[in-house]
Amino acid sequence: MKKEYDYEHTAHLVSKAQLGDKKAKDELCHRFRPLVYGLTRTAYETIDHEDMAQVLWIVFLESLADYDSSRGLPFAAYVKKRLSQAAVDYMRRHEVMLKHGGVKDEETKDRLLSGEIMVDGVRQNWYEMKQDELTEGEVEQLIAGLGLTSRQEEILHLRMKGYSWADIHGICHLSYKNVHKHKQNIRAIVMKNEIFRNYFA
C-alpha cells in the first residue's frame, strides 16, 4: 500500500486544483487512483467495490478542497489518512447492514445463507496489515517543515529510526544533559502532532 509521491509537484497540482484548474485536478485523480481502488480490495465478498470507490472519490475531492498546506502535513499523507478512515467506516456500515439482515438483494442473501460466499474471506484485509503511518519521504518532508535546527533534525531522525535516547547520546557525542535539553525543545514543537507523539513518551 505504501507509495512514494513527488511532493513538490503534488503540492503544485493541489494549489492549482484548489484554484479551479481542471487539468490539475484530473492529474491528481490519476495519481491517487491506485490508492482509491487499493482501499476497495477487501476480503468482503458482499461489498460492491465500484460503489465503495465512488464513496472514496467523494472523500478524495472533499479532502482536496479542505486541505491546508500551512499545517505542515503533505497532501499524500493527509488524503491517505482520510481515505483509509472512510474505507474502514464504509466496511463497518456494511457489517452492520449484514448483521441486521439488510442485504440489498435476495440472490446475495441466498448465497450468504448457503455458504457459497462469506462476509469475510480468507485473504487478509489491507487495514489489518501492520504498516507505517507515513512513508520515509513523507516523514522527511514533515520534519523539514517543523522549523527545527539542524542538530534537532538529526536527533529527531535518529529517534524515529528507533534509536534510544542513550544511543543518540553516543552517536551525536552529546552529554546526557544536552540530549535531554534537545529532547525537551523538540518535544515542545512536535507534541501537537500525533505522528510524533509516541517518540517522546
pLDDT level of residue 118 (50, 70, 90 thresholds): low
pLDDT level of residue 162 (50, 70, 90 thresholds): confident
Is the same domain home to 115 and 156? no
Cell of 106: 435476495
pLDDT tens by residue, 121-132: 434 454 444 444
Specify the pLDDT at position 123: 44
Ramachandran class of 72: left when φ > 0, alpha when ψ lies in -120 to 50, beta otherwise? left
Query: Domain containing 184: what range?
Result: 146-200
Specify the pLDDT at position 1: 37
Is the same domain home to 108 and 151? no
In a domain, 64, yes or no: yes
User: Reduced to 3 states, what is the DSSP secondary structure of residue 83?
Assistant: helix
What domain count does the chain have?
A: 2
Tell me how many helices (H) and strands (E) the chain has: 10, 0
Q: Please provide the size of the chain in residues.
A: 201
Specify the pLDDT at position 103: 52
Is the same domain home to 185 and 117? no
Cβ count near 135 (within 10 Å): 19
In a domain, 70, yes or no: yes
Question: 77 near 32, Cβ under 8 Å?
Answer: no
pLDDT tens by residue, 29-84: 998 998 888 888 765 667 788 888 999 999 999 999 999 888 777 888 888 888 88
Is the same domain home to 20 and 99? yes
In a domain, 55, yes or no: yes
Comparing C-alpha atoms, which of 145, 142, 146, 155 is closest to residue 184?
155
